[in-house]
Each structure stands twice: as C-alpha cells, then as structure tokens.
Amino acid sequence: MKNILNLFLAFCMACTAFACDSNSDVTPENDSKEEKDYDMSGFARGADVSWLTEMEHDGVQFYTLDGEPAECMWLLRELGMNAIRLRVWVNPEGGWNNKADVLKKALRADALGFRLMIDFHYSDWWADPGKQTKPAAWQSLSMDALKEAVAAHTVDVLSELKANNITPEWVQVGNETGNGMLWDEGKAESNMAGYAELNNAGYDAVKSVFPNTQVIVHVHNGYDKNLFAWLFDGLRNNGGKWDVIGMSLYPEPSDWETLTQSCLENVKGLISRYNTPVIICEVGMSRNQAAVCKSFLTRLITESKAIDRCQGVLYWEPQGFEKWSNYDKSAFSDSG
C-alpha cells in the first residue's frame, strides 16, 4: 500500500512542495480557496477525475495518509495539484459525463480554485485512437449538419458553465484525435479537410462563448514525432485552428526512458515548428512498478517544466483505483 501511495505522491512532489500540513484543522467542509495560499498559476499540475461522481455514487471514499476521510478534489489540492480535467460525452448511458454531470464536477473544482480543462469527446462514449464514434443522434447527419451539431453541443455545454460563472482555461475539441474525429466524415487519413472543418466548428464554438479560452487539439502517443507532424501539417494545410497542442504519454515500465526522451524532444520540436504551446493532457503508468513510475513522473514533470511554453502535465484518473475501475494506472490504493 505504501508503494502505491508513494507513486501518487511522487506526481505531486515532482511539481511542488506539499501545500498542506497534516496536522492542520482545515477540512473539506469548511475550507475555501481564500483561506490558504495555494499555487494555482504557472505550470499546470493536474488530473483528469471524470470518474469521480460515478465512483462516489457507488460508495467510494478517499482518505488522507493519516486515514482521515477527505473529498477527493480537496485532497488533490492539498497534495499540490492546481488543475482539473473533465471529459464531456453527448448522450451517455446513465448520464455520467453529460452536461449536468460535468457541471457538478466543474462547480466543485471551481470552488476549490482549480484551473479547468474541458475535454469534448464528441461521442456518447469513449473517443480515442481506435474509435471516434459519432453520437447516436448524429449518425445520419450530413457534413454541414454534423458541423452544426458540433458547434451547438459545444456552445450548449460551455454556456452552462458560463451561466454558473465558470471559465475553463482550456477546452479540447476532440479526444486523442490522431486520426481525426467523428468517423468517417472526419477521419484524417481519408479526409483531412473534413477533419479540419469539424475541428474548426468546435474551435469557433469555444471562442463564441469564451474568447480567451485556449483551444487544444489533443493527440495520443506524445513520443511519435511523425504522427504529430503529419496531423498538424495536415490541419494547417487545410485551415485548421488550434491554440495549444495536447498529447498523451503512457509508457510501459520497460520503455519509459526512451519514450520520455522522445516525448520531450517532440514537445520542443512542436513548439518551434508551429509556434504554439504544448500541454501533456494525459499521463499514466502501471502502479505495479511504483518505483519505476516515480522515476518516470519525476523526469517528465521536471524536464517538461523547464521547457518554455510547455504548459503542464495532467495525470489521467489517479483516483480511479483498480478494484473499482479495473484500471491499473490509477494511483490511489484500493482502500482509497
């Protein structure tokens, strides 16, 4: 258990010193973002916690190292995190990650002073390199109607946040879109121009609600320089828009050094090639080799933080412990 907890603490400590005193009387119930001098600026040190409300619905609880019950986002902030990422699905089964669920989590993050990243999947379920499935309600739409649906959905969710005085710092238009999104109309390998049009529908929709929010195009395999050059050259050649390049990095314990080096080189090259910032939206590694994962996170965070215009690193679902999620890259112990 200690090794698993150390894995998670390594992520936080690699970025900043602990923000809390374990003997403090601050609790999730009486705490507020004005009561303590938390570092919520500069390099983003964050986590995607989109499973959180579903986990809580199932009775999952979280604890400090002293065994005291704690609200999860509060605990992440106490450990030094300053950013929260939330995914959005269009019409998901059970309602998890729909507009209402995202708002609940965003309100909690905002109340704690977190910076916020919103991640539109433009799907009813997971969108990733292996699948970019259109929402059921969009299946028969023409290209023009599909662009209108992307824009309307984006505006709808973001307007709900705005109505509740929440302004995201970043918004992703698509999740891990290394081969585009909303297949087949937006499949990059067969229709890069179509992907660029759909991307721009999302980009313009974000700016119509939040003109100063940074729009991210997020691609998997952050170490793959050829993939990023192909996709972003393709977008640029077809009028595609973005403000920040996002990437994921999930090395195995056996290859983390090689892939981390390639990823860091890719970050520098992308900043130079496209004159735009880069943020590492997702990282993770199996917690079964905690010492290796600690080395990986320490190097990645330390060296990316030293790169001018690299905006931050976010761990993917550290709270989604394995006995609930079957996800072995979670960073909490199975006892919370």
Per residue in 264-277, pLDDT (tens digit) is 999 999 999 999 99
pLDDT at residue 200 tops 50: yes
Q: Are 287 and 1 in contact (CB under 8 A)?
A: no
Pick the closest to residue 248 from 101, 125, 85 (CA basis): 85
Q: Are 312 and 300 in contact (CB under 8 A)?
A: no
Overall average pLDDT of the 185-212 stretch: 98
Q: Give residue 19's pLDDT.
A: 34
Q: Are 139 and 182 in contact (CB under 8 A)?
A: no
Overall average pLDDT of the 84-97 stretch: 98
Query: Which candidate in 71, 78, 169, 176 is catalytic?
Result: 176
pLDDT at residue 10 tops 80: no
Residue 195: pLDDT band by 50, 70, 90 thresholds?
Answer: very high
Kindly report, residue by residue over 122-138, the tens digit of the pLDDT. 999 999 999 999 999 99
Strand pairing category for 115-120 and 214-219: unpaired
Overall average pLDDT of the 144-172 stretch: 98
> Does 32 or 80 have the greater pLDDT score?
80
* Neighbouring-strand partners of residue 282: 248
DSSP at 182: S
Report how far apart, in Å, the C-alpha atoms of 44 and of each of 99, 115, 125, 170, 280 are.
Answer: 24, 8, 27, 11, 9
* Cis bond upstream, residue 184 (ω within 30): yes
Least confident of 78-82, 164-168, 313-317, 321-325: 321-325
Q: Give residue 272's pLDDT.
A: 98
Q: Give residue 34's pLDDT.
A: 47
148 an active-site residue? Answer: no
Residue 334: pLDDT band by 50, 70, 90 thresholds?
Answer: confident
Q: Could you tell me what percent of the chain has a pLDDT over 90?
A: 85
282 an active-site residue? Answer: yes
Kindly report, residue by residue over 13-48, the tens digit of the pLDDT. 554 433 333 333 334 444 544 457 788 999 999 999
Instruction: Give the pTM.
Output: 0.92
Q: Give residue 21's pLDDT.
A: 32
Q: Give residue 37's pLDDT.
A: 76
